[in-house]
Amino acid sequence: MDTYTGKSIFKKIAIGKILFYQKGEQTIKRTHIEEVDAELKRYEKARAAAIEQLDALHEKALKEVGEANAAVFEVHAMMLEDDDYVDSIVNIIESQHVNAEFAVATTGDNFSKMFANMEDDYFKARAADVKDISERLINILSGKEGDQVIGDQPVIVVADDLAPSETVQMDKKKLLGFVTKYGSANSHTAILARTMNIPALIGVDIQEEWNGKLAVVDGYEGILYLEPDGETLARLQKRQQEDLETEKLLQQMKGKEDVTLDGRHIRLYANIGGVKDVADVLANDAAGIGLFRSEFLYLEANDYPDEETQFRAYKTVAENMAGRKVIVRTLDIGADKQADYFKLDKEENPAMGYRAIRICLERTDIFKTQLRALLRASAFGNIAIMYPMIISVDEVRKIKRIFEEVKQELKEQAIPFGDVEQGIMIETPAAVLISDMLAPEVDFFSIGTNDLTQYTLAIDRQNMKLDHFYDSHHPAVLRMIQMIVENGHKHGCWVGICGELGADMTLTKTFLEMGIDELSVSPAFVLPIRKMIRELSIG
């Protein structure tokens, strides 16, 4: 048995024989053409056929992986109509009197290299898209389109890399998983793999002689086992069986409403820490994202993430959620979440110190950059914004003034943005006690039960010695939640829970009886809670 490590794209187990997929590298010959007009017509016919293929792929992907993930094929079709790309091909055919295959290959290489050399990660990723559409055109021109990757038997596909179109065209019933040498966790292909529930590894040192050998892809540990021994195989088969049992629950609950037996509806959303987590949200069929912890964009960086970096992240999530609500919590740095470049002073009691909205209201340049990125991204989906660690009405009004300043700047620059709901996190006793005063100022409340519990009970939740004193079911905490709901509803403000307590199924009925409008939990809890909600009667 040999083992190889890689980066996991989807946490699942695949067991089967390997199919080593190697793209046929076509040697494109440069051929002199006398009839230039005829060659241009041949090219145009191939381009039309390629667009037709991509439209069909888009329809297939819509059914299998959803609108947001199918959009890559719309992008590819648009790229085939891009003026610069088309003009380059036409110019080469006309000026050099060469065959269309050579003109497409040359243009594809030139554009791919241009994108690959850019510093921006988004544009770097377009290099693969250009290669994909160019290869499609060349295949059509040379009569080689329609090749099938997978045969009759289910396999684990191993390849240097896979284009999105190659992934979608594979028969899902025959594709057990895939392993690639190249690719990124945020590539279209990776997103498709997660959405299609296919275990996959990238960054593996693959070898052609693996073809036909038995292998196991362990998406949990990021390991490929080649010709596993009996003990390893039995262990992973057991884990795979457990996954299948979970899958039965997923299939039973997917697409069903989050409604009680007596007709009470609730919004069941998911919490995420970054773009990569959206796949779990989609796989678990959450109705939206109730907490996007934006601070992870800062914690994973070596310097303040600029507006473009943040915009791309928020935009990607909004587009992938395809119209479902995405609630982004503004920067919640400080306390146990530290980034060196913020140069925050060491504090005796950081949980109650200089953190979250307190930093944003003093360092408004950082705050405005984030608000600009969020507002710009709101033009591409249903984004809402919530502000953490609020303790006063004055803070909320300051935030709203800054928010309006940013909106005005964008208007003056003719930058589009959507209609954005604004809410606050209720996670301090102060906010609870004046929730009747805060509710008229905002569209919604989201209760952060983790901090609310520690502040209410005067217990540092980072202190392991206090674990047995920490009681999230304490009557004081539950009474506060009830008070928040009542005060919010009196003033037309909807109320949700985004803390860990939202996933506590011993309290699900209690929360519904309190009148909670939304629960936002880790993606894995969505379907079990949906099942419970659908079995409850609140009365």
Which residues are tagged catalytic? 188, 498
Two tokens at 325? 């609500």
User: 183 with 190: CB under 8 angstroms?
Assistant: yes
Question: Torsion angle, CA of 131/136/141/145, rounded to 10 degrees?
Answer: 140
Q: In which order are the strands placed within the sheet that holds 155-159? A: 2-5, 223-226, 214-218, 13-21, 155-159, 175-180, 200-202, 7-10
Residue 247 neighbours by CB distance under 10 Å: 12
Q: Which amino acid does the sequence have at 70?
A: A
Q: Which residues of 221-230 are buried (b: 16+ CB within 10 A; e: fewer)?
A: ebbbbeebee
| Strand boundaries in 36-174, DSSP class E | 155-159
The count of residues in the chain is 539
CA atoms within 13 A on the CB side of 14: 33
Q: Phi first, then psi: give them for residue 11, nearest 5 degrees.
A: -85, 95
Region of 489 please: left (phi>0), alpha (psi -120 to 50) or beta: alpha
Cα dist from 253 to 32, 257, 328, 400, whole Å = 61, 9, 26, 39
Instruction: List residues bridging with 265 in a β-sheet.
Output: 259
State how far the alpha carbon of 151 is from the alpha carbons of 157, 299, 306, in Å.
Answer: 11, 45, 47
Task: Name the amino acid, one letter, at 367.
Answer: F
